[in-house]
């Protein structure tokens, strides 16, 4: 079974940029829905964005649209989350997700996804 592994999380100052990676260990994800979620302490896990790897279609949450970008590199079977102009409210554990139930046109809820990585921590503070 495919495993997802996130990396790239760091502690940064407001305004900085980071790129997170989600390496998929196996499986054919060249026409699949992949997603990024985040969870702050004491809060629900919320969707950040999705990508359909077959077409490159992406949808980002309103709170990050225009600052965050999702991409997928087929040869490396890796999804990326490029984060710019980071804010303290972007702080949280970031997870990648796969095997979405339903169509790949919106973020859905965490319960629509059945495969998760362990997460990587992003902290934005001055």
Taking a C-beta distance cutoff of 8 angstroms, is the pair 78, 11 a contact? no
pLDDT band at 27 (very low <50, low <70, confident <90, very high): confident
- Three-state DSSP class for 27? coil
Taking a C-beta distance cutoff of 8 angstroms, is the pair 83, 19 a contact? yes
Token pair for 24: 């998929």
Please write the tens of the pLDDT for every residue from 44-78.
Answer: 999 999 999 999 999 999 999 999 999 999 999 99
pLDDT band at 30 (very low <50, low <70, confident <90, very high): confident
CA distance 76 to 15: 29
Strand partners, 112: none
Q: What is the pLDDT of residue 4?
A: 96
Q: What is the mean pLDDT of residues 24-52?
A: 92
CA distance 71 to 51: 7
């Amino acid at each position: 079974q495919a495993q997802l592994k996130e990396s790239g999380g760091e502690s940064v100052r407001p305004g900085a940029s980071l790129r997170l990676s989600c390496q998929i260990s196996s499986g054919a994800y060249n026409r699949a829905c992949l997603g990024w979620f985040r969870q702050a302490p004491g809060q629900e896990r919320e969707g950040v964005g999705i990508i359909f790897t077959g077409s490159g279609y992406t949808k980002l949450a309103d709170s990050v649209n225009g600052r965050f970008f999702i991409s997928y590199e087929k040869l490396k079977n890796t999804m990326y989350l490029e984060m710019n102009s980071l804010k303290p409210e972007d702080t949280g554990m970031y997870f990648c997700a796969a095997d979405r139930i339903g169509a790949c046109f919106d973020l859905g809820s965490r319960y629509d996804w059945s495969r998760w990585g362990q997460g990587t921590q992003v902290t934005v503070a001055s």
